[in-house]
Structure 1
Amino acid sequence: MKHPVDIHVGKRIRHRRWMLGMTQQQLAEQVGIKFQQIQKYETGMNRVSASRLWEISEALDVQIAHFFEGMKEVADGTDDQDVLSDKEAMELIRSYYAMPENQRRRLFDLARVLSGSTG
């Protein structure tokens, strides 16, 4: 049975890899394993060892803590929706961060106005 922590860590690996526009094959090559192993990590099928998680964090240019962000909400059952599992939302986020800072700010302001959010 998959452990919720393994599933969460796997999702965080997949999301970060996707945000960087990196394939499973590319990540696997950087870490020195086969892409099938990355698939198993990303689904939570296999647990990621501490040393492998270190290597993955280096390849994805994040701190190890990144993979555990939001875990408390998952454990508490208060993680109502996983917006990062929505492919359209992920494409929007990736496109947003690909924009120059001044354009991102203007788009963000426009989105707030259109949504009625005063945030």
Structure 2
Amino acid sequence: MAGLPATEVDVRIGERIWAARTRAGLTQRAIGAAIGVSAAQLQKYEKGTNRISAIALNIVADLTGTPIAAFFDEVSNAEAA
């Protein structure tokens, strides 16, 4: 069964993943390996094409030194619907 389609919120979170990763000087391959996905899959998360799991996002936050809340700041609940 396929997951829910990506939304504008997923795009915003993906942009923040990309920004956090680049600030931390980490490659897509390094982050992908840490969360158990390919660099290509991480790129889909960063572009908002696919949704990232909460567990994987928590690992990204830890690796990049970014508070988990920073990925959600100013993201409206209405946009998530």
Instruction: Give TM-score, length-normalised by structure 2.
Output: 0.78
Mapped pair 1:4 → 2:8: yes
Deviation string for 1:57-83 (max 9, x for gaps)? 1222222111112324xx5xxxxxxxx
Unaligned runs of 5+ in 1: 76-119
1:22 paired to 2:20: no
Pick aligned residue for 2:52 from 35, 48, 51: 48
Identity, % of aligned pairs?
A: 34
Q: Which AA in structure 1 matches 2:52?
A: V
- Shift in Å, 1:15: 0.5
Query: For 1:27 and 1:50, how far apart are their aligned partners in 2?
Result: 15
Residue of structure 1 equivalent to 2:17: 13
| 1:39 and 2:62 are equivalent in the alignment | no
Partner Cα separation in structure 2 for residue 22 and residue 5 of structure 1:
23
Select the structure that is richer in helix.
Answer: 1
How many residues are paired up?
73
**In structure 2, the residue corresponding to 1:71 is in which secondary structure?**
coil
Larger radius of gyration: 1
Task: Please list the CA deviations of residues 41-96 of structure 1 after superposition, one character each: whole Å capped at 9, or x if unmatched.
Answer: 00000011111111211222222111112324xx5xxxxxxxxxxxxxxxxxxxxx
Distance 1:34 1:65 in 2: 25
The alignment's TM-score, normalised by the length of structure 1, stands at: 0.55
Q: Structure 1 runs of 4+ off > 3 angstroms?
A: none
TM-superposed CA distance for 1:26, in Å, is 1.4
